[in-house]
Structure 1
């Protein structure tokens, strides 16, 4: 598969869309795989609250049933988990680390799965990790793709930064609402407004605040408005479509 040129801003927008509309994670993961010349992309979560972060692009649905009966989080079964726990592992774990990890497996269950779906190669990184679980991002490559190159891993690392920001944003939305979002929004470089169920603005990014200073947009009793009445009406309709 040929790589496609996508700018950092485009990746940021793509993953921001996934955080705000979680069904779009599948598209973001698929595009990541295509951009790196990989057969599949994967977002995977272990632990409480991580169920929403489990996506694999372009793979046979039968893998769901086969993995359901495995303990994928066990490092003595899953060489990808074992590789992630190697001492002095880099941020991007890849095939060289998988080679080491496979030597200490106690059973072939996950190896058989990888053979069935042709997903032995690839690379991975942690997006978030703590005592209660982990969320990771990975490329799963088939025999035609071959092993990852340094260039592909560098591109994956760049994309992973945007995915990490999106995971944090989605968790903030789902778990702690406006209070935590205020801090999350401060770190975002896109113009975004957070609206409550009534359509009033509850928070905004620095870029959105700067946009207000240009005069084209303004806050009117907590509502986002424009200089022109027809634009304000169109904006109000758009907001209502989101919150209704």
Structure 2
């Protein structure tokens, strides 16, 4: 009778995971059932990229638990002994493996984190591992739960392949949605590039594709890179911030294409609770070069209440010229241009060149109609 009951409960648990991709809160229900069956306070499903957490869901936890994991770099093996203790896909790791990892290197910030949240023990399994992303599932035990037992680990081992199949279904569903979105992108005239949760290109418009080239932007191994090293460093930093959801500032990254300067804007896309990293997470838009050459400076001066000299500086800045080049074109010192810009910033109510160019561009667009 006991064996029949165990088999029935295992079947119910497997059924919950099989239905999870197709039901509202299906994954949460399945993970809570797994926690119950393994004597755990919480169950966790996560996807780790090489520079961020692509997806992290922990049952019965508040947002602080998730946010702290990101802030301390919990996806890194030198920080998180659970990551350091990972084994090949579908093989278990538990307290014995955690102890071995901690004997090699112990990160006090992570230890403090799991102890404060009562999640120091448990069992885990890597479900699949591919370049730049790892999917795993874990049961988190605290002092009240005690270390995992052999019977609890056996439940975990049996359910692993079923969870992997469910993730593959979720993967398929998300890729279908991404494919539909790519079809919509093709109809857009603006230049936009979509990145998934691990920063890989998963779609772009034709206008963006036309801007790719050896001197501008390139896609290598599905990673968006800028040709110039300094611009690429800034671009990767902004992409990393957008993946973490902390990219909130104005567009301020300039790319110099043959047609003129292009302004790159990196933004986080709205995120759904249950996407495993395949759905688009970041959008990079490329604003067409500003060409105000045919607009009389007087019209810009009138609109922004600038002197003619100040308006001419703004026009040259909007055309993509540096302060040094503007000084040479106007036969003045760079210090004079800097002083003029300080006055212009104050008059226009802005703090940065990118904001000034955006303001000037809006005026230029209106007076050009």
In the alignment, structure 1 residue 163 sits paired with structure 2 residue 163: yes
How far residue 60 of structure 1 moved from its aligned partner, in angstroms, is 3.3
Instruction: Return the TM-score normalized by structure 1.
Output: 0.64
Q: Secondary structure at the match of 2:110?
A: helix
What residue number does 2:70 align with?
68
The residue aligned with 1:19 is 21
Structure 2 distance, partners of 1:7, 1:34, is 11
**Displaced runs of 4+ in structure 1, greater than 4 A?**
none
Query: 1:14-73 CA distances to partner (integer Å, 9 max, x unpaired)?
Result: 11221223632111111100111111100011129984x421111233212212212122
What is the distance in 2 between the residues matched to 1:168 and 1:90?
A: 15
Instruction: Give 2:120's aligned residue.
Output: 120
Q: Does 1:146 align with 2:146?
A: yes
Q: How far, CA to CA, are the matches of 1:106 and 1:115 in structure 2?
A: 13
Unaligned runs of 5+ in 2: 178-369
1:26-41 matches, within 5 Å, as 26-41=28-43
SS state of the match for residue 65, structure 2? Answer: helix
2:13–2:33 Cα contact (<8 Å) kept: no
Aligned residues: 172
* Structure 1 residues 106 and 7: CA distance shift in structure 2, 3 A: closer
Task: List runs of 5+ in structure 1 lacking aligned partners.
Answer: 178-244
1:104-150, Cα deviation, whole Å (9 max, x unpaired)? 32631111101110111001001111112011000000101111111
1:44 to 46, 49, 52: 46
Higher relative contact order (CA 8 A, sep 6+): 1
Q: Which residue of 2 aligns with 1:198?
A: none
What is the SS of the residue equivalent to 1:7? helix
* d(CA) in 2 for partners of 1:50, 1:64: 10
Question: Which residue of structure 2 aligns with residue 103 of structure 1?
Answer: 103
The 8 Å contact of residues 85 and 101 in structure 2, kept in 1 or not, is answered as yes
| Contact 1:33 1:40 survives alignment (8 Å) | yes
Pairwise CA RMSD: 2.6
2:83 to 81, 84, 87: 81
Q: In the alignment, is the contact (CA less than 8 A) between 1:50 and 1:134 conserved in 2?
A: no
Q: Distance in 2 between matches of 1:56 and 1:89?
A: 20
Query: Greater Rg, structure 1 or structure 2?
Result: 2
Matched, 1:131 2:131: yes
Distance across 2 between alignment mates of 1:50 and 1:65 = 11
Shift of 1:103: 1.9
Looking at structure 1, the residues matched to 122 and 39 of structure 2 have their Cα atoms a distance apart, in angstroms, of 11
Match for 1:7 among 9, 16, 22?
Answer: 9
Counterpart among 55, 58, 76 of residue 56 in structure 1: 58
Which residue is equivalent to 1:224? none
CA contact (8 A) 1:75 1:105 kept: no
